[in-house]
Structure 1
Amino acid sequence: MEMLGPHALKLFEIIWINIILSGDNAVVIALACRGLPADKQRLGMILGAGVAVALRVVFTVLVASLLSVPYLKIMAGLLLLWVAVKLIPGEDEGDGSIAESDKLWHAVKTIAIADAIMSLDNVLAIAGVAKDSTLLLIIGLLISIPLIVAGASLIMMLLEKLPILVWAGAALLGWVALEMILTDPALLDRVGEARLHTLELPGEIAGALFVLLAGYLLLRRKNRRKEAAEI
């Protein structure tokens, strides 16, 4: 405690920043875990949040400098679009051929992929506060795990009562994906910051609409296959 005493304010800042920046992560966790059996949902959220925080530590300590690599954000944004589209239909809860443990680890894997992508930007703010104190960084992020789980639990409760929020959450991820793509250094160099700024809002809206349309088509195909199997 004596070692952390002088850094108490920074510790609080790391926790607070992580909570603010983890809103979209909580959405991913809730969407990925909604198809799990009720007794596995809490475990899935805890594991997902733990993976998310572990990745946040790794990125903050090791790879924050990669944000300046051209085309990295473009590739990450495209991958996030794919994850967002796949989250709309979700897992088939009635498919008994898929073991519950497989569903659990599939959900955790989805959370890990999405959080790894979205953490690229978030780590800069956290690293700026932690500076050279890796211990402070790890402690702050670990403390924030139950807060992320609580946020995901609240969102999952809302998803059960208002299924339309599944589409809203996926659209949010599509928005974030295009925001990431449009800030890639390669585009900034070729198109220019001023021009990209004018394209930012239309691009983000297009990303959200793309996810909704692709998710709708994927869900319709899934329902057709299910109906054909029942005949």
Structure 2
Amino acid sequence: MEFFTTIDWAVIAQIIMIDVLLGGDNAVVIALACRNLHPNQRRRGIMWGTAGAIILRIILVVFAVTLLKIPFLKFTGGLLLLWIGYKLMVQTEDDDGHELEASDKLWAAVKTIIVADIAMSVDNVIAIAGAAGQVDAGHHQFGYIVFGLLVSIPLIVGGSQIVLYLIDRFPIIVTLGAGLLGWIAGGMIFTDPGLIQYVGNHIEAYSTTAGVIAALGVMIFGELAKRSKRKK
């Protein structure tokens, strides 16, 4: 109760804003991963995937400072995100339709959401940790982080459902969503501290170009793979 009586709502608002703004792409990932689930399972996929991602994000925030110093973490996360974007785009409603039970497809979607969220969350968790650092050290900082992230869950879930609604009516959004993941991945790779250490600070200037190339690459190769599967 002491936490709620002394809470600084300005800090909570900052954490929620950071999570929503930097986590907008998470709503796209959740929608892409759940789009081929049965309508009755979509809500469960969104809820479980979001819950797992939030829990892991809280853990990551606790170790944010250490994570920032790990060379090639963002580089590896970027490569992983490229692969996820490609797979989400190529995946169709018929994939594994006869090989996987509904529950298996549900948990496969949940795992995709969690893995993608981890890959994208490096900058996010560092920003959240920075916002929480404005309050006194100790358990209060952790309390702010947890409370802020929990409050943002309905916003992420609601965003995912809106994207799913649009995907059902405008399939091109799947391609654009995969391109968004490619854009994020390209920027992550070219701003990795380990890569900068070996290549030089000038490489950061090419992060935008890398994002554009990665986005186009995911969309083009994904589209070619989809056409190849249709021919077969």
Deviation at 1:128, TM superposition (A): 1.1
Aligned partner of residue 3 in structure 1, secondary structure: helix
CA distance in 1, matches of 2:64, 2:229: 38
| Alignment equivalent of 2:101, drawn from 96, 99, 102 | 99
Distance 1:64 1:162, change over 3 A: farther
Q: Which residue of 2 aligns with 1:208?
A: 215
Deviation at 1:217, TM superposition (A): 2.7
CA distance in 2, matches of 1:13, 1:201: 26
The letter of the residue matching 2:102 is E
- Aligned-residue Cα RMSD (Å) equals 1.6
Aligned partner of residue 107 in structure 2, secondary structure: helix
CA distance in 2, matches of 1:64, 1:24: 23
Q: Which residue of 1 aligns with 2:77?
A: 76
Distance 1:13 1:34, change over 3 A: same
Deviation at 1:169, TM superposition (A): 0.5
Q: Which residue of 1 aligns with 2:13?
A: 12
The letter of the residue matching 2:200 is G
Distance 1:100 1:91, change over 3 A: farther
Deviation at 1:72, TM superposition (A): 1.6
Deviation at 1:125, TM superposition (A): 0.9
The letter of the residue matching 2:210 is G
| Alignment equivalent of 2:129, drawn from 119, 127, 130 | 127
Gaps of 5+ in 2: none
Q: Which residue of 2 aligns with 1:65?
A: 66
Gaps of 5+ in 1: 226-231
Deviation at 1:91, TM superposition (A): 4.3
CA distance in 2, matches of 1:63, 1:129: 12
Aligned partner of residue 30 in structure 1, secondary structure: helix
CA distance in 2, matches of 1:3, 1:68: 31
Deviation at 1:96, TM superposition (A): 3.3
The letter of the residue matching 2:163 is I
CA distance in 2, matches of 1:189, 1:97: 46
| Contact 1:64/1:123 (8 A) holds in 2 | no
Q: Which residue of 2 aligns with 1:178?
A: 186
CA distance in 2, matches of 1:118, 1:206: 18
Q: Which residue of 1 aligns with 2:176?
A: 168
Deviations 1:4-38 (A, max 9, x none): 23322222221222111110100000000000000
Aligned partner of residue 63 in structure 2, secondary structure: helix
Deviation at 1:3, TM superposition (A): 2.3
Deviation at 1:184, TM superposition (A): 0.9
Aligned partner of residue 4 in structure 1, secondary structure: helix
TM-score (norm 1): 0.91
Structure 1, 60-69 or 82-91: larger mean CA deviation: 60-69
Aligned partner of residue 36 in structure 2, secondary structure: coil
CA distance in 1, matches of 2:65, 2:119: 12
Q: Does 1:90 align with 2:85?
A: no
Q: Which residue of 2 aligns with 1:28?
A: 29
The letter of the residue matching 2:23 is S
| Contact 1:77/1:177 (8 A) holds in 2 | yes
CA distance in 2, matches of 1:54, 1:222: 36
Structure 1, 168-177 or 209-218: larger mean CA deviation: 209-218
TM-score (norm 2): 0.90
| Contact 2:34/2:42 (8 A) holds in 1 | yes
| Contact 1:32/1:90 (8 A) holds in 2 | no
Work out the number of aligned pairs and report it.
224
